[in-house]
Amino acid sequence: MTNSIAQAGEALAGFIERHPKLWVLTGAGVSTDSGIPDYRDADGQWKRPPPVQHGDFMASLAVRQRYWARALIGFKALREAQVSGAHRALAALEAMGYVELLVTQNVDRLHQRAGSRKVIDLHGRADMVGCMSCGYQLMRHAMHSEMASMNPHFAALDAGHAPDGDADLETDFSMFKILDCPRCKGILKPQVVYYGDVVPSARRLAAQVGLENADAVLAVGTSLMVYSGYRFCRDAHAMGLPVASLSLGVTRADALLTHQWRAPLTPVLEQAVSCLQRRLLD
């Protein structure tokens, strides 16, 4: 059902009060107010072609050329993004003692910039790059700076922003020069879990431990169509934990939800925080 902001905020505050050790799962919807596009519509369908597959990225030079050329233009959406009210509200809930753990499917690090500390970046972080052969690491902006010098024509292009630092650019990418690992000449890849890849086991187990210490799950701004996030809602349901969702559309876990609010994220979260703050003062 669709809820008004006031009603949803009040109801969410009540849910948080009854379950003060929240395991929070966030998705792309949390960062759309920061200017970062999301992947899916309100029905959970792709808005554009699916993102690059891990196997394709590793196996094909052409795929990597296309990826890095587009990223050279599109990554500034992530680099320049500012924290949204949703990020700040979730950080406020943690500061008030209501968050056991926040697990994000986003790779933009905006939760940390907003002040959240109990965060697991389930799918990694886009601001770091690593060598797939020797493990060498460097900051993403340093790699982009080097490739901009190597490819001045591409660096001068412009295109609309797409999710996760991609750009809506189609051209001949065959002349794009990619920076290889400066240590071993191996393939450099953002430290992000691509489709077809797996979440590192240590990261997944840490999220599971947090779930076992929580008393409810709150999914925010995610359709849960990706299994790596959905699995935790399924596990929580099997454990008998309440599972709630705040999003603008359907989720893969709709049948598992005990509470669902289809309403704008930032104003509802801000309303919930305001309600909780008032109740603490009463």
Nearest to 258 by CA among 12, 4, 5, 25: 12
- Catalytic residue (choose from 19, 87, 111, 123): 123
Q: Tell me how many helices (H) and strands (E) the chain has.
A: 11, 9
Positive/negative CA dihedral, 69, 70, 71, 75 = positive
Tell me whether residue 131 is annotated as binding.
yes
Reported as type and span, the H/E element at residue 262 is strand 259-262
> CA 58 to CA 100: how far, in whole Å?
36
- Look at strands 216-220 and 22-26 and give their pairing: parallel
Nearest to 266 by CA among 9, 67, 27: 9
Tell me whether residue 275 is annotated as binding.
no
Residue type, 19: H
Integer CA distances (angstroms), 231 to 90, 179, 195, 199, 200, in order: 22, 36, 16, 12, 15
- Look at strands 259-262 and 216-220 and give their pairing: unpaired
123 carries an active-site annotation: yes
Tell me whether residue 233 is annotated as binding.
no
Give binding residues for Zn(2+) as ranges: 131, 134, 181, 184
Give binding residues as ranges: 131, 134, 181, 184
Active-site positions?
A: 123
